[in-house]
């Protein structure tokens, strides 16, 4: 654990004490969390001053045991009915964290909210919940990666060197081991990404959590740049992958049919949208990475035309030409489709 107090370290400490009815000594907690008794005592004093129900008592051999007062709970966190209902209705948005300690803690809190509200208010809330639907199209499933995500978050908080086992889409090897300094995790387009300094590459890299099969947190700590800001890192990206080159102006003309949908969202902090007299829309962005922008533009089909830069226009042209050539080929109806790829149809019921 790092020397400076941090919110995640406090969370882990409170969780550890909550699991011990008889409490624990400073020596026990320091050994468990790999830090000094002085640091643990400082954290406990701070948490107590913040209002957490921490108490201590002198046990056998004169040792002081710290524990959470189970009778007090977190009484200071009293919610109004409106606040409790809002938290309960928002539970579906925590589904991407299923399997992690944060998700388990949230589920426990929702159970208590249900017990407190009673049947009648819950029935009303469920009716209200039916008015909101959280789509799961493309949603990554992290239920089996709960421990891995917890390890990554702990490594970020404690600033520990971590060895990850990674399966890259472009790698020729089945799996690769990287020594990384994990900086933060990003939730982007229904998936989690780890942003870390890769010791093997000597630069910051993006790793999709879905492709990380193991994370071995080491004892060696690293120093993160004091001025590191994820917003600055991704400022030239159209998503999650930062660019290595200089920023350049991207100009795109959208058709009249696409003008309104495009203008309804903020796609990038630097975007500048200018409606044209003929109903089309001119969109301008300042970007250093065009990788994710390319796929977004292709999704608009004929409704988006790249004006600048020339290399992006050329890339779009090549991609569309290749796709068109595939569709110009007449499919052979006699070509056998492997059984694993044949569409399945529901079995017809037999007449009785």
Q: Is residue 259 located within the same domain as residue 298? A: yes
- Pure H helices in 90-206: 101-117, 119-129, 146-158
Answer yes or no: is 352 within a domain: no
Q: Is residue 282's pLDDT more than 70?
A: yes
Q: Residue 98: is its pLDDT beyond 50?
A: yes
Q: Tell me which of 68, 97, 115 is where a domain ends.
A: 68
How many independent structural domains does the chain possess?
4
How far, in Å, CA of 251 to CA of 292, rounded?
Answer: 15
- 104 and 60 housed in the same domain: no
Bond prior to 309 in cis (omega within 30° of 0):
yes
Q: For position 97, what pLDDT does the model report?
A: 67
pLDDT at 228: 84
3-state secondary structure at position 158: helix
Q: Is residue 342 part of a domain?
A: no
Q: Which CATH number characterizes residue 12's domain?
A: 1.10.10.10
211 and 152, same structural domain? yes
319 domain-assigned: yes
Regarding whether 264 and 203 lie in a shared domain, the answer is: no
Full domain range(s) for residue 196: 143-224
With CA atoms as reference, report the closest residue to 308 among 234, 349, 268, 252: 252
- For the domain that residue 304 is a member of, what is the CATH number? 3.30.70
Same domain, 123 and 153: no
Any domain includes 73: no
Mean pLDDT, residues 242-271 taken together: 91
Note whether 124 and 150 are same-domain residues.
Answer: no
pLDDT score of 5: 40
Note whether residue 236 is domain-resident: no
Measuring CA to CA, how many Å separate 24 from each of 34, 44, 52? 15, 12, 16
Residue 187: inside a domain: yes
Closest CA to 187 of 102, 84, 297, 285: 102
* Confidence tier at 257 by pLDDT (50, 70, 90): very high
229 falls within a domain:
no
- Residues 54, 110, single domain; the answer is no
**Residues 157 and 214 reside in one and the same domain:** yes
Query: Does any domain span residue 350?
Result: no
Residue 212 burial (10 A CB sphere; 0-12, 13-18, 19+): buried
Do 219 and 256 have their domain in common?
no
Per-residue model confidence (pLDDT) at position 1: 44
Which of the two residues, 264 and 343, has the higher pLDDT score? 264
Confidence of residue 77 (pLDDT cuts 50, 70, 90): low
Domain boundary residue, one of 129, 152, 167: 129
pTM over 0.85: no
Residue 294 has pLDDT above 70, yes or no: yes
pLDDT interval class at 231 (50, 70, 90): confident
Q: Could you tell me the CATH number of the domain that includes residue 186?
A: 2.30.30.520
* Mean model confidence pLDDT for the chain: 80
User: Do 258 and 195 sit in the same domain of this protein?
Assistant: no
């Amino acid at each position: 654990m790092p020397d400076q107090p941090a919110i995640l370290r406090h969370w882990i400490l409170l969780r550890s004490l909550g699991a011990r009815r008889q409490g624990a000594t400073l020596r026990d907690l320091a050994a468990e969390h790999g830090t000094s008794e002085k640091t643990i005592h400082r954290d406990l004093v701070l948490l107590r001053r913040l209002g957490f129900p921490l108490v201590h008592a002198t046990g056998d051999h004169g040792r002081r045991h710290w524990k959470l007062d189970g009778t007090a709970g977190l009484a200071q966190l009293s919610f109004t009915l409106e606040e409790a209902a809002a938290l309960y209705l928002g539970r579906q948005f925590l589904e991407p964290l299923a399997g992690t300690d944060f998700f388990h803690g949230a589920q426990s809190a929702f159970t208590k909210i249900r017990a407190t509200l009673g049947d009648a208010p819950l029935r009303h809330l469920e009716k209200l919940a039916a008015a909101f639907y959280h789509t799961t199209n493309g949603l990554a499933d992290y239920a089996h990666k709960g421990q891995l995500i917890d390890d990554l978050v702990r490594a970020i908080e404690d600033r520990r060197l971590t060895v990850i086992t990674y399966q890259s889409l472009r790698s020729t090897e089945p799996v690769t081991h990287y020594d990384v300094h994990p900086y933060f995790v990003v939730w982007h387009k229904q998936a989690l990404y780890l942003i870390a300094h890769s010791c093997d590459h000597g630069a910051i890299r993006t790793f999709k959590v879905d492709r990380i099969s193991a994370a071995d947190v080491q004892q060696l700590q690293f120093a993160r740049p004091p001025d590191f800001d994820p917003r600055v890192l991704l400022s030239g990206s159209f998503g999650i992958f930062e660019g290595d080159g200089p920023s350049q102006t991207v100009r795109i003309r959208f058709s009249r049919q696409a003008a309104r949908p495009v203008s309804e969202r903020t796609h990038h902090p630097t975007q500048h949208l200018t409606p044209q007299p003929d109903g089309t829309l001119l969109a301008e962005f300042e970007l250093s990475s065009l990788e994710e922008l390319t796929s977004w533009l292709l999704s608009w089909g004929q409704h988006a035309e790249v004006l600048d830069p020339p290399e992006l226009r050329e890339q779009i042209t090549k991609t569309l030409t290749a796709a068109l050539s595939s569709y110009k080929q007449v499919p052979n109806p006699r070509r056998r489709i492997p059984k694993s790829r044949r569409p399945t149809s529901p079995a017809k019921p037999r007449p009785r």
